[in-house]
Amino acid sequence: MDSVITLLDPYVFDPMYERVGLPQPFVSHDHWVRQLISTYLILFVGAYLMYFTGAGFSWYFFFDKNLRKDKRWLKNQELLEMGYSARAMPVMAIPMSLIFLAEIRGYSQLHENPIHGVSGWMGVAAQILAFLAFTDMLIYFIHRGLHLPWLYVRFHKPHHKWIVTSPFSSHAFHPLDGFAQALPYHIYVFMFPMNKWVYLSLFVLVNYWTISIHDGLGVYSGEVLNGSDHHVIHHRQFNYNYGQYFTLWDKLLGTHRKPTPKNLFAAEPPRGVKEE
């Protein structure tokens, strides 16, 4: 994030802080208050741009509009999803800004080492695979924990309001739910070294992945990836397919349900939770 701030400073933040009269010493590029404000603004604006452009693109080109005829589709659902997302994302950006600030201030293992030759790119590939495997594991357990009745009702239930999902469902959840499921991305870089630009690229891509698994497109029904069909089952049957990218932990712990026509169109209430 510090690299992004450095790129934006002369064109965005320097003129902005000069215009609003940010007092000294906060105007210094290295002051944590300025860094925190800049980080929040990047996350806030960036989240809106990624969500509305990514989900809008997916809705227009990939989303099956016939799903809107399903009896479980809510009236004006896309508008409800967009409204819920628009209210949640600025709140989620607050704790995430604090974590990004710690990364900017050098408390993580992010680095900007140059990537040279085949061995350098093989190292990047290893970082990506390790990042995906680690975060998928943690998200599985966090997501499954959010289905415990007392956590589900308080935090995760709003996201399951959308039984038949659209791309706009992807970020329509309680702010603490979204923050909890984003935590693994930050935990990884405090534990393991990673190139800053690779990390930021993955942070953006995982948001688009989240949009893609809510679009109902169903181009992949295999056994390895937790694609859109797998996530359709999660929203309609609640107790299966908790993984973010892969089916590994669902298979190991008995919560995998393979996409079949019967499973895709069935619906079950969440076990142990009283639905309204």
pLDDT on residue 183: 95
Contact (CB, 8 A) for 228 and 214: yes
Q: Note the pLDDT tens digit of each residue in 110-158.
A: 988 877 776 788 888 999 999 999 999 999 999 999 999 999 999 999 9
User: What is the token pair recorded at 260?
Assistant: 């079949």
Which residue(s) pair with 225 in the sheet? 246
Nearest to 130 by CA among 185, 180, 178: 185
With vertex at residue 239, the alpha carbon angle to CA 236 and CA 243, rounded to the nearest 5 degrees, is 95
C-alpha span between 240 and 255 (Å, rounded): 5
Q: For residues 193, 190, 27 and 48, what is the CA-based torsion angle, rounded to 10 degrees? A: 100
pLDDT on residue 118: 66
pLDDT on residue 156: 94
Q: Mention every residue, 6+ apart, whose C-beta is less than 8 A from residue 116.
A: none
Percent of the chain residues topping a pLDDT of 90? 61
pLDDT on residue 211: 93
Tens digit of pLDDT at every position of the chain (276 positions): 888 898 898 889 888 888 887 777 777 888 899 999 999 999 999 999 999 999 999 999 999 888 898 888 999 999 999 999 999 999 999 999 999 999 999 999 998 887 777 678 888 899 999 999 999 999 999 999 999 999 999 999 999 999 999 999 999 999 999 999 999 999 999 999 999 999 999 989 999 999 999 987 776 667 888 888 889 889 988 889 999 999 999 999 999 988 876 556 555 555 545 544
Which residue(s) pair with 246 in the sheet? 225
pLDDT on residue 269: 52
pLDDT on residue 258: 85
User: What is the token pair recorded at 86?
Assistant: 């628009």
C-alpha span between 140 and 45 (Å, rounded): 28
Boundaries of every domain in the chain: 2-265
